[in-house]
Amino acid sequence: MKIKILGSGGGEGFPATFCTCEHCEEARRVGGKSLRSLHQALINDDLIIDFPVDTDAHCMKYGINLGKIRNFLITHPHSDHFAPISLVCRGSLFAHNLKYEKAFFYGPYGLERIFDAVIAPYGIDAKIRADIGFVEMSDRQTEKVDGYSVTALKAEHAPHLNSLNYVISDGVVNVLYLIDSGYPSKANLDYLCEQGYVFDCVVMDATMGYAPVGEYVYHMGFEENKLLKNELITRGLANKETKFVATHFTHNKAETHGKIEAIYTGTDITVAYDGMEIEV
Ligand SMILES: [Zn+2]
Ligand SMILES: [Zn+2]
Ligand SMILES: [Zn+2]
């Protein structure tokens, strides 16, 4: 399985569009891996996770044709994860020869209502709207998504939005995708143990950066990533071969790519950047 991190930034991007803090100014100066767009991932070439406003730019940058992708997992409708305006162009005169007539958005309760509310002021062609399907997911629900088995887990994040994390499996490889989330609950970790998972890759929220452990329960920081890696290995949910990735960095709690890498030195946790590919 290939996981491509299309965007590795936190909620406002890094540098943040309107921000002149030291971290953003340094990121603009340094460029390269220190420039982080809004968070999105692509599994192989056929499963997208989240749909931020940077989706169109990601498709241009990485040569992705969304007309060839049927399935989308949405973690939660914060604006950096679900800003679906460009879906008004999925069909009619705007998109020809779609590989799949219908696209499916798997996500938490309330997603379809939010989609319709966001789109309402702009309007949408009736056929385009009819070809966008929603599959409601809730905690510990598993769905077959073409070649993948996808299990939703209640995220430690924005509970009023029913935020979800996902276990994505192709029958050989298991990925634990913890964006956005604070440190996973004991109940979820116990559940994953009961299911007998051994993860090949764990993608971890690092939004709180260098904040002290426990400062905010709805995102993780660098130290919580390190603790989580150790706990997953101790519980047998991961092993020496497991690839751990930290991502979703914000300008408020982190600096340039090189400085973030320095903090993770010796942990074998990979610091994500836009366009990074992980083979598992
Ligand atoms: Zn986010
Ligand atoms: Zn800033
Ligand atoms: Zn969020």
CA 58–ligand 1 middle distance (angstroms) = 16
Closest ligand to the CA of 38: 1
Q: What angle do CA 69, 111, 54 make, to 5 degrees?
A: 55
Residues surrounding ion ligand 1 at CB below 5 Å = 11, 80, 180
Task: Give the other-Cβ count within 10 Å of 13's Cβ.
Answer: 24
Closest CA to 216 of 245, 181, 256: 181
pLDDT of the residue at 155: 98
CA 220–ligand 1 middle distance (angstroms) = 11
CA 273–ligand 2 middle distance (angstroms) = 17
> Domains in the chain, ordered, with CATH?
2-279 (3.60.15.10)
Closest CA to 202 of 268, 275, 108, 274: 268
Scan for tokens 């690839």, then name that residue: 243
pLDDT of the residue at 195: 98
Closest ligand to the CA of 76: 3
CA 277–ligand 2 middle distance (angstroms) = 26
End-to-end Cα, the chain, rounded Å: 5
CA 97–ligand 3 middle distance (angstroms) = 34
CA 213–ligand 2 middle distance (angstroms) = 22
Closest ligand to the CA of 54: 1
Which CA distances in Å does 103 have to 4, 39, 117, 134, 256?
20, 20, 19, 9, 37
Token pair of 144, please?
């077959």
CA 171–ligand 3 middle distance (angstroms) = 29
Token pair of 88, please?
């008004």
pLDDT along the chain (280 residues), means of 10: 98 98 98 98 98 98 98 98 97 98 98 97 98 98 98 98 98 97 98 98 98 96 98 98 98 98 98 98
Chain length of the chain? 280
String of DSSP letters for 92-110: GGG--S-SSS-EEEEEETT
pLDDT of the residue at 43: 98
CA 191–ligand 3 middle distance (angstroms) = 23
pLDDT of the residue at 25: 98
